[in-house]
Homo-oligomer: A and B are copies of this chain.
Amino acid sequence: MGRRSDHTREELRALLISRGHALMAEQGLAKFSGREVAKRAGYSVGTIYNVFGSLDGLIATINSHTFSLWADHLHKRLDAAGEDRIKALVEGYFDFALEHPNLWSAIYEHRLAEGEELPEREQGQRAALTAIVEQEVRAALSDPDMPGAARFARSLIATVHGHCSYVVSGTFALLDEPDPVGSALARVRESIAAQRVELAVTSSFN
């Protein structure tokens, strides 16, 4: 078969991402198959290479889309949050991962081939999540312009990420941790409190 007009280029792109996303959610990266995605979309394998350049390209796009869903989830959680926005953030981080463990894990299991880079559009999708956290952390710091606030926020993301990845991978279950979210939140609070104190001490010398 040759050229078809069932879908525009954009529609076809969206279709493949959608089907691919569904397959990733069902099976995880290890059992993900480009051929299966194509079959579900009603196209042949080659089309993936035509649209995304490579299978890695499709997977990266699927993962970037997961980032977007994750950011949406955090926004909703924050909109519904009361005073304790940091808690909402940490809980939102965790429950997205636990609701979609395969999608979430795929983000971290997939590596781009050396030399490859994400298209700008996708870098933006991924950076959005960091931006949300940075904003909230700044607010919690009382001095939103604290030097190094961005780095500090990323470090807190890493802290929560570590706890979350232990939960999703089952490591924490094995270690019989009753409340991983609570632990992560406790660590985050301790670090934020430490920054506040440091700030207070610094200020008192001015």
Decide: A159 and B177 in contact? CB cutoff 8 A: no
Q: Give CA–CA (A27, B191) in the complex, Å.
A: 38
Q: Give CA–CA (A166, B126) in the complex, Å.
A: 14
Decide: B183 and A158 in contact? CB cutoff 8 A: yes
What residue in chain B is nearest A28 (Cβ atoms)?
Answer: B111
With both chains docked as a complex, state the minimum distance between the C-beta of A129 and any C-beta of chain B, in angstroms: 11
Tell me, yes or no, whether A163 is within 8 Å of chain B by CB: yes
With both chains docked as a complex, state the minimum distance between the C-beta of A196 and any C-beta of chain B, in angstroms: 11
Q: Give CA–CA (A133, B161) in the complex, Å.
A: 19
Q: Give CA–CA (A166, B174) in the complex, Å.
A: 23
Decide: B163 and A177 in contact? CB cutoff 8 A: no
The answer to whether residues A163 and B155 also contact, given A30-B111, A109-B109, A190-B191 and a CB cut-off of 8 A, is: yes
What residue in chain B is nearest A170 (Cβ atoms)?
Answer: B111
Q: Give CA–CA (A160, B156) in the complex, Å.
A: 11
Tell me, yes or no, whether A144 is within 8 Å of chain B by CB: no
Tell me, yes or no, whether A154 is within 8 Å of chain B by CB: yes
Q: Mark A111-140, 1 if CB is under 8 A from B, else 0.
A: 100000000000100000010000000000
Tell me the A67-94 residues at the B interface (CB within 8 Å): none
Decide: B194 and A190 in contact? CB cutoff 8 A: yes
Decide: A159 and B172 in contact? CB cutoff 8 A: no
What residue in chain B is nearest A152 (Cβ atoms)?
Answer: B183
Write out the residue numbers on chain B whose beta carbons fall within 8 Å of the beta carbon of A190: 190-191, 193-194
Decide: A155 and B108 in contact? CB cutoff 8 A: no
Tell me, yes or no, whether A162 is within 8 Å of chain B by CB: yes
A-B residue pairs in contact (CB < 8 Å), sample of 13: A30-B111, A123-B174, A154-B175, A155-B163, A155-B183, A158-B159, A158-B165, A158-B172, A158-B184, A159-B163, A161-B165, A186-B191, A190-B190
Known A158-B166, A161-B162; 9 more pairs at CB < 8 Å = A151-B183, A154-B175, A154-B183, A158-B162, A162-B163, A162-B165, A165-B165, A187-B187, A187-B191
